[in-house]
Amino acid sequence: MAAPRTVRILREAKAGLDERGDVLVCLSPAAENSGIQIAIESTLKSLFGDQIRASVLGVIEGYGLKDLKLTVRDQGALDYAIRARVQTAIERALKEGE
């Protein structure tokens, strides 16, 4: 059986807006073997913090990523928007030299 594919983030990237009803996702590379570091800032963190973290981790794991820092500044975004913003930030971070 082949080893799981791991991908490294190449550069910093952002997606989304820091406005009501949206979410700003900031992604950057981290030191090797430091793992996935997620910081969540949300007015609804006490209610939905665990769900936000699970959604973010689901997208990250789908890409096979490790060793990254991700900040989520949620302003009441719906789950599908959070997932889309994380995916967009990852795609931007994986692109080389644009």
pTM greater than 0.85 (yes/no): yes
Tell me which residue of 47, 46, 56 sits closest to 80, measured CA to CA: 56
The predicted-structure confidence for 15-49, as pLDDT tens digits, reads as follows: 999 999 999 999 999 999 999 999 999 989 999 99
Which residues have C-beta within 8 Å of that of residue 88, sequence separation ≥ 6? 15, 16, 25
Under CATH, which number does the domain 13-94 receive?
3.30.230.10
Task: Give the pLDDT confidence of 42-83 residue by residue, as tens digits.
Answer: 989 999 999 999 999 999 999 999 899 999 999 999 999 999
Delimit the domains of the chain by residue range. Answer: 13-94
Whose CA is closest to 21, among 88, 80, 91?
A: 80
* CA dist., res. 23 & res. 78, Å (int): 9
> What gap in Å lies between CA 38 and CA 21, rounded to an integer?
20
